[in-house]
Structure 1
Amino acid sequence: MDENIIQGNPTKTFFIEMITRDISIKDAILDLLDNSIDGANIINPLTYEGLYINITISKDEFIVNDNCGGFSLDTAKKYAFRFGRPDDAPEAKGSVGRFGIGMKRALFKIGKTFEVESKTDNDHFEVNVDVNEWRNKTKTIKQNEVEKEIEDWDFRYVNITEENCNLSENGTYVKVTNLHSEVADLFEDEEFLSTLKGDIERLLNFSLEKKIKITLNDQELDSKDIKVFNEQSEPYFYEGEKDGVKFRVIAGLGEVGNPSVSGWYIYCNDRLVLEADKTEATGWGTSGIPKWHMDYVMFRGIVFLDAEETINLPLTTTKKGIDTTSDIYKSVLVYMREATSNIIPFLKQITKLGDEANNYRKLLAEQETKISVVDMKSVPISPEKRKFTAPEIDTDLIAQRKEFVRIAYDVKKDIANKVKYHSGSKSYKELGETTFYYYIKMEDLENE
């Protein structure tokens, strides 16, 4: 046996106790949801309608149950339960998972006992793990005719029958029990659950807009969608490709609302990884671009980064940030800065209105149609659209609008489009006025 060897292999304790420290409980849960959505994307990348993810949280257990296709026994054996992504792993095909640690790290973070059940057309199996037993498990190998005891990193699975399962359709069932004490305390905290709900609605808003149904303790979640004005003003659009990553940059105006929603949003394979950023990371306060200020509250910028091979994305392991040193991000940042520079002069013009500035922002929001984040990704664009078209500022109209109130209501898009066509309305705003004044005329006729 070669005595000039210095051991460099990892330990199970490192993975159980250390690699979980840089991720929060909420991020661990989101990692598991990302796996479900990756499955949904394989089933149908265009729409997730009919698919669901149910989350159940209490002080005693944590469960995620989905009907998003499951994963095969072969995948489980070769990749899903490995610590790290093997070199021979197949391409991730547009998933968010990147380094091969997300599911295991999340499960270790939450509790000491877990089960993972998966059902596909061909396989139905379950993996049960007691983390403390697994930590202490060893096996004997023979090396240079000498027996040696080493850590056993393997997990065991069992095939299960329809009579003894949690899944009635293809999907995945994950259950964690014997929760860590701090996790159990969090799962009893209503404020934590409320914050988790908001995080899921924001960070997975793209998937929610694609009609996947997510419930948290039987409460259905809604999308916190990002919308950009797209009628009187026209957003900046640009798309390109570099090093296996397709990118699309959109920037324009949004609702006045809360200043916390202003800034840049970056999606990697449809997962929101940077939200309402107003820092130098997205160009603010760098050469030629001012630091973000309340005057720029209407600014909205969206970046979509998509890659078949997820490793090409400039994504951090916690999916809560962007690697700003990556070549792909540096290339995209050029267009983000260009877009910001296009929009800032108009936002400064609004500020010059003085006391009327806020009235104008509200007026513009009332008049504009909005384009949703899903539509922003799919709307056709032309190369010459690489500029922001600002709306005309009509100060007389601002003064007149003080006597007006806004009436808003939602109807199904296909019905609205039909009525807009038959009424000859050029916009949804005009359609609203047409239907309102039609009602008034009918009232006048009835009163004659």
Structure 2
Amino acid sequence: MVTNIIEGNPTKKFFIEMITRDISIEDAIIDLLDNSIDGANRINPSNYSGLNIYLTVNKDYFEIKDNCGGFSIDTAKRYAFRFGRPEDAPKGNGTVGRFGIGMKRSLFKIGKNFIVESQSKQDAFKVEVDVDDWSKKVRTIKNEDGTSDIIDDWSFTYIEIPNTGKADGTSISITNLNSEVGNLFADEGFLTTLADNIQKLLNFSLQKGLTIHLNGKPLSGKRVELLLSNNTTPYHIEGIINNVRYKLIAGLGGIGEPKLSGWYIYCNNRLVLEADTSSITGWGVQPIPKWHINYVMFRGILFLDSEETLNLPLTTTKKGIDATSEVYKAILPLMKNGMIKVFEFLKKIPQMGDEANDYRTMLWENTSKIGAVELKALNFSNAAKIFIAPPLDTDIIARKKSTVRIAYDVAKQTAEAAKEHAEAKSYKELGETTFDYYLKLEEIANEECDGIEL
């Protein structure tokens, strides 16, 4: 009998009470949303239209359900319910899960009783867990010397269920919520913050057509936009480092909210750093200056993608960048170079004196914009490493001061039909066409508008 052995086995209490402390409630919920999005990505990586996630959050109950493909019993047995990622686990295939603890950590963080049901093309099953009972579950193992030991049993029991015939997907319901969680879920302020975080962190997936409903209300992605036109082109460079594909874009954004200025970093389409102006993204590190209001229009977007998620420079909470990563250290100089190119232009705007803000406003309102999803798909190959700045034309400002901008929202389907009927090439041209039509309809096209009641 071997006697010089020191056991290093983990305990369930450590996992339930300690590992869950490393994650906030919001992040636990977004971790579960990530799992649904991973399913959507397996269905169609380029378009999530028709795929939905429904969140129900209140003081007594939490539920997340989707129609994003589900997962099989084999996946549940071999990977999904394992504590940690087995060495034989397949590559992440563009997911953001890294260590194999996300779903379990989130479930234990939220409550004491949970049910996981999943239906896939292969089969359907249900796992029902009382956490307090599971924490006491043990099994007996026989030793070679005939003695026996009692150890923690980390297994879960599943039952196969009939295929419902509905769309494949997964549902998770949690009751007997942990006390601090129930109190949070009853707070309208928390729900507002949760909605805001979902719309920011998962904006890329929302822009690709996924719909996330929070307590019956559909959420929309907060669009990250840069200026792009014939005379305004962002700096761009892309490549591969250590099996990580990167696409780096630096250019100009709006001036309305200074807090939107900075770098946006996506890992496998998940926003992990938003509007960052810290030293992590090079600000205040020579030769880059600290952020100043003169740089309010700066927008940088870095896309990092890898089939193997462990290659990405993600922190364990997936809300930050590991600055010590060799991949990120190799890309940071490229980010700084892009900043330098854009700053050369931005430093000239304050020299316009009183007209500087008018120029910034005019530039934003009268230049075409492009969102992050479209930017990632756009081929910049002919403009690599080049930043084309717009003209610093004060005469344009003078002309624009005598005009106003009219904006309104309509249903996209209606706007598309109107644009096609009017043979307009853009929504801007459609707006001009409809306004001209109104003037002609009122028979005032050749009259001065001042003083005329329409």
TM-score by length of 2: 0.93
For residue 251 of structure 1, what is the amino acid of its counterpart?
A
In the alignment of these two chains, the number of paired residues is: 442
Helix, strand or coil at the partner of 1:71: coil
- Distance in 2 of aligned mates of 1:146 and 1:352: 85
- Distance in 2 of aligned mates of 1:315 and 1:447: 61
Helix, strand or coil at the partner of 1:20: helix
For residue 79 of structure 2, what is the amino acid of its counterpart?
Y
Conserved? CA contact 1:369–1:429, under 8 Å: no
Matches within 5 A, 1:181-260: 181-231=179-229, 232-260=231-259
Helix, strand or coil at the partner of 1:197: helix
- Distance in 2 of aligned mates of 1:417 and 1:325: 50
Helix, strand or coil at the partner of 2:94: coil
- Distance in 1 of aligned mates of 2:192 and 2:251: 31
Instruction: Note the alpha carbon deviations across 1:299-327, whole angstroms, 9 max, x for none.
Output: 11101100011111111111000111111
For residue 161 of structure 1, what is the amino acid of its counterpart?
P
- Distance in 2 of aligned mates of 1:325 and 1:285: 18
- Distance in 2 of aligned mates of 1:169 and 1:444: 55
* Equivalent residue number for residue 384 of structure 2: 385
* Equivalent residue number for residue 64 of structure 2: 64
Helix, strand or coil at the partner of 1:194: helix
- Distance in 1 of aligned mates of 2:262 and 2:30: 23
Conserved? CA contact 2:419–2:430, under 8 Å: no
* Equivalent residue number for residue 169 of structure 2: 171
State the Cα distance separating 1:260 from its structure 2 match: 1.0
Unaligned residue ranges in structure 2 (runs of 5+) = 448-454
- Distance in 1 of aligned mates of 2:351 and 2:319: 37
State the Cα distance separating 1:434 from its structure 2 match: 4.9
- Distance in 1 of aligned mates of 2:346 and 2:430: 28
Conserved? CA contact 1:259–1:297, under 8 Å: yes
Conserved? CA contact 1:238–1:383, under 8 Å: no
* Equivalent residue number for residue 147 of structure 2: 146
- Distance in 1 of aligned mates of 2:214 and 2:130: 26
Instruction: Note the alpha carbon deviations across 1:418-447, whole angstroms, 9 max, x for none.
Output: 578x46x6x765564455335434543899
* Equivalent residue number for residue 331 of structure 1: 330
* Equivalent residue number for residue 38 of structure 2: 38
Question: Which has the higher mean CA deviation after the structures are superposed, 43-52 or 1-10?
Answer: 1-10
* Equivalent residue number for residue 102 of structure 2: 102
For residue 273 of structure 2, what is the amino acid of its counterpart?
L
- Distance in 2 of aligned mates of 1:76 and 1:236: 44
Q: Are positions 1:293 and 2:292 aligned together?
A: yes
- Distance in 2 of aligned mates of 1:5 and 1:377: 54
Query: Given the superposition, is the C-alpha separation of residues 383 and 282 from structure 1 closer, same or farther in structure 2, using an over 3 Å criterion?
Result: farther
For residue 116 of structure 1, what is the amino acid of its counterpart?
V
Conserved? CA contact 1:249–1:304, under 8 Å: yes
Helix, strand or coil at the partner of 1:405: coil
- Distance in 1 of aligned mates of 2:446 and 2:293: 50
Conserved? CA contact 1:71–1:120, under 8 Å: yes
* Equivalent residue number for residue 50 of structure 1: 50
State the Cα distance separating 1:67 from its structure 2 match: 0.5
Q: Are positions 1:115 and 2:119 aligned together?
A: no
- Distance in 2 of aligned mates of 1:431 and 1:161: 52
For residue 72 of structure 2, what is the amino acid of its counterpart?
S
Q: Are positions 1:2 and 2:22 aligned together?
A: no
- Distance in 1 of aligned mates of 2:184 and 2:54: 19
Conserved? CA contact 1:251–1:299, under 8 Å: yes
State the Cα distance separating 1:356 from its structure 2 match: 1.8
Helix, strand or coil at the partner of 1:139: strand
For residue 107 of structure 1, what is the amino acid of its counterpart?
L
Query: Given the superposition, is the C-alpha separation of residues 350 and 430 from structure 1 closer, same or farther in structure 2, using an over 3 Å criterion?
Result: farther
Helix, strand or coil at the partner of 1:112: strand
Question: Which has the higher mean CA deviation after the structures are superposed, 381-390 or 331-340?
Answer: 381-390
* Equivalent residue number for residue 74 of structure 1: 74
For residue 172 of structure 1, what is the amino acid of its counterpart?
T
- Distance in 2 of aligned mates of 1:152 and 1:68: 31
- Distance in 1 of aligned mates of 2:339 and 2:417: 36
State the Cα distance separating 1:161 from its structure 2 match: 2.6
Query: Given the superposition, is the C-alpha separation of residues 430 and 123 from structure 1 closer, same or farther in structure 2, using an over 3 Å criterion?
Result: closer
Conserved? CA contact 1:368–1:429, under 8 Å: no
State the Cα distance separating 1:266 from its structure 2 match: 0.4
Percent of aligned pairs with the same amino acid: 57
Conserved? CA contact 1:269–1:305, under 8 Å: yes
Helix, strand or coil at the partner of 2:21: coil
Helix, strand or coil at the partner of 1:444: coil
- Distance in 2 of aligned mates of 1:435 and 1:50: 32
Unaligned residue ranges in structure 1 (runs of 5+) = none
* Equivalent residue number for residue 159 of structure 1: 160
* Equivalent residue number for residue 452 of structure 2: none
Query: Given the superposition, is the C-alpha separation of residues 196 and 363 from structure 1 closer, same or farther in structure 2, using an over 3 Å criterion?
Result: same
For residue 296 of structure 2, what is the amino acid of its counterpart?
V
For residue 166 of structure 2, what is the amino acid of its counterpart?
S
- Distance in 1 of aligned mates of 2:337 and 2:102: 35
For residue 142 of structure 1, what is the amino acid of its counterpart?
K
For residue 291 of structure 2, what is the amino acid of its counterpart?
W
Query: Given the superposition, is the C-alpha separation of residues 208 and 387 from structure 1 closer, same or farther in structure 2, using an over 3 Å criterion?
Result: same
Matches within 5 A, 1:352-363: 352-363=351-362
State the Cα distance separating 1:334 from its structure 2 match: 1.7
Conserved? CA contact 1:59–1:184, under 8 Å: yes
- Distance in 2 of aligned mates of 1:11 and 1:125: 27
- Distance in 1 of aligned mates of 2:417 and 2:237: 31
Conserved? CA contact 1:369–1:428, under 8 Å: no
